[in-house]
Amino acid sequence: MAFFLNSYPMVYRARYEQGAWQETYLEKPHKTPEEEARMDPKEAAALAETRNHYADMPLVSYTSQYGFGCFEGLKAMPQRDGGLALFRPGQNAARFARSMRGLYMPPFPEESFLKAVAETVKQNAALGFRPKYKQEWERDSFMSADSVYIRPFTYSEGAIGVSISKNPWVMVVCTPVSAYFSSDNSDGVVTSRSRATPRGTGWIKASANYAVSALAKHEANEAGYVECIFLDAVERKYVEEGSSCNVFFLLKSGELVTPALGDTILPGITRSSIIDLARDKNITVSERKLSIEEVIAEGKECFLSGTAAGATPLTSLTYQGKKTVFNNGKTGELTAELRDTLKGIQYGKLQDTKGWMQRL
């Protein structure tokens, strides 16, 4: 698993009260990174547990009882020159505000989001909590590279009874993160579950959305697959997305297709970046309905896209017991090219001609 529940000690917290956001930075208990690395497992686990507790926040709330909340996920990547850089944080700020509006919460200002994210990463880095660039990452196109994972999220005021949050907190925590998907398994399966329904919250990065995703991914993993793919909830024939990522298919015609956005699909930031990179390479990219039958008949390559996934290949997809293999079971040429370009920009190996990276 890529994520580690060992939060860095500096945390951002804001509370919406009387029409304004009241901000603060919290310093949770910690030692130096070197001292923590030498701790025995029980002591390290106890420290991690302590950093994950906030005694002054309510246990019973709309968030804890009903999953009423939303979150973001973005990364700060170590750079070749020793620095750190965020990947397209403005897009996360805008999506976070949209999600909060979609849940009828007071939206967190985008400029406050950007400042909070950057400052939280910098304060942790100043204490030594950050990964350092390793030349060896270049050998596998940064698929095994480390980064700082940044999790902004909302948490509601204390409450019980189904309702909306009017005085939420916004938190920003940072954790270490490594490769999300196992490199020795690239098989996917179509799940029988439905992730989102029309007029629901599929377009919002809502906490509650991920309950079904977690169940479906667990079932896929138990059956020997690395990831599951959801179909639409109405006709059960159109591909939508993975458990926590968008999906792309290169067809035999040369067309690169990803499902069109609607109110059941999350507008991924890596997704939009992949579309831009592919079009820069004169690839025909379509955002449209894509049936599972078309994928089986015409699919040549398949890959997942997301903050954690980057651009990760699926070399097969099993649907109703029938396995379809893409590119003879190997990573496709276009998949590798897009992955290498994306990761190269993110880690500073390639020039950032699009202004995507924000230096810290």
Per-residue pLDDT tens over the stretch 188-239: 999 999 999 999 999 999 999 999 999 999 999 999 999 999 999 999 999 9
Closest alpha carbon to 210 in 151, 122, 142: 151
Share of the chain above pLDDT 70, in %: 98
CA-CA distance, 251 to 300, in Å (whole number)? Answer: 5
Task: Give the pLDDT mean for 156-174.
Answer: 97
Whether pLDDT at 56 is above 50: yes
180 pLDDT more than 80 = no
**Interhelix angle 333-346/269-280, nearest 10 degrees:** 110
Return the percentage of the chain with pLDDT > 90, whole number.
92
Predicted pLDDT of residue 2 = 62
Average pLDDT over every residue of 104-133: 97
Residue 292 pLDDT more than 60? yes
Angle at 73 between CA 161 and CA 93, to 5 degrees: 85
Q: What's the pLDDT at 183?
A: 65
- Residue given tokens 């805008």 in the structure block: 94
| Residues 228-287: tens digit of each pLDDT | 999 999 999 999 999 989 999 999 999 999 999 999 999 999 999 999 999 999 999 999
Identify the residue whose tokens are 């009423």.
Answer: 68
Q: Confidence band (pLDDT; 50, 70, 90) for 333?
A: very high
pLDDT recorded at residue 309 = 82
Q: How far is CA 264 from CA 84, 87, 249, 310, in A?
A: 34, 25, 19, 21
Cα separation of 313 and 248, whole Å?
9
* Burial call 307-340: b when 16+ CB within 10 Å, e when fewer: bbbbbbbbbbbbbeeeebebbeeebbebbbebbb
Distance CA(113)–CA(117), nearest Å, equals 6
Helix (H) or strand (E) holding 250: strand 246-251
51's CB contacts (< 8 A; 6+ apart) are 6, 7, 9, 28, 29, 30
When pLDDT is averaged across residues 71-82 and rounded to a whole number, the result is: 96
Question: Can you list the domains of the chain with their CATH numbers?
Answer: 10-177 (3.30.470.10), 187-346 (3.20.10.10)
Predicted pLDDT at 185: 86
**Spatial distance between the Cα atoms of 345 and 208, rounded to a whole number of angstroms:** 33
Over residues 138-148, the mean pLDDT reads 90
- With a cut of 50, say whether residue 117 has pLDDT above it: yes
Q: Share the mean pLDDT of the chain.
A: 95
- Confidence (pLDDT) at 144: 86
Q: What is the DSSP letter of 236?
A: S
Comparing CA positions, the residue from 210, 229, 246 lying closest to residue 320 is 229
Q: Is the pLDDT of residue 1 over 50?
A: no
Q: Taking residues 322-343, report their average pLDDT.
A: 96
